[in-house]
């Protein structure tokens, strides 16, 4: 079971709305307890050209470092979100799949949140 906090939902949605003509992505931060994953925050990363680029690699490393320095050992990267630039495109694509796979390699219970652009236009 995954629970998406209103704050995380709003931040991911606002990221997509701000860059409505571009693809956007980011990571989901949260914690796992028993069979429940609570997503408490969404951290925007890129807009425009998505991919497992050096910029994305650096962003993921910075987010990991920030989470470790926060002092809360229960919070970590628990997922990936993406909104595509085309209104009817709900496909994760090759780049999104690679990023999600990388996150899942570190977090086996990671999830993907695809934002529906039809609701933003």
pLDDT of 52 higher than 90: no
Domain limits of the chain? Answer: 2-119
According to CATH, what is the number of the domain 2-119? 3.40.140.10
Helix (H, G, I), strand (E, B) or coil at 120: coil
Pair 26, 43: CB distance under 8 Å: yes
Tell me 118's DSSP state.
G
DSSP per-residue string spanning 72-104: -TT-EEEEEEEE-SSTT----HHHHHHHHHHHH
Give mean pLDDT, residues 28-44: 96
CA atoms of 94 and 92, how far apart (whole Å): 7
Task: Please write the tens of the pLDDT for every residue from 66-121.
Answer: 888 988 888 999 999 999 988 888 999 999 999 999 999 999 999 999 998 887 76
């Amino acid at each position: 079971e995954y629970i998406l906090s209103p704050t995380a939902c709003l931040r991911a949605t606002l990221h997509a709305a701000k860059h409505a003509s571009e693809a956007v992505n980011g990571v989901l931060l949260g914690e796992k307890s028993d069979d429940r994953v609570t997503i408490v925050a969404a951290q925007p990363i890129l807009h425009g050209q998505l991919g497992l680029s050096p910029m994305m690699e650096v962003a993921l490393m910075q987010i990991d470092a920030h989470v470790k320095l926060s002092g809360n050992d229960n919070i970590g990267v628990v997922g990936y979100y993406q909104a595509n630039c085309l209104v009817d495109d709900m496909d994760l694509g090759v780049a999104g799949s690679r990023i999600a796979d990388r996150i899942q390699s570190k977090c086996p219970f990671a999830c993907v949140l695809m934002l529906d652009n039809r609701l933003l236009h």
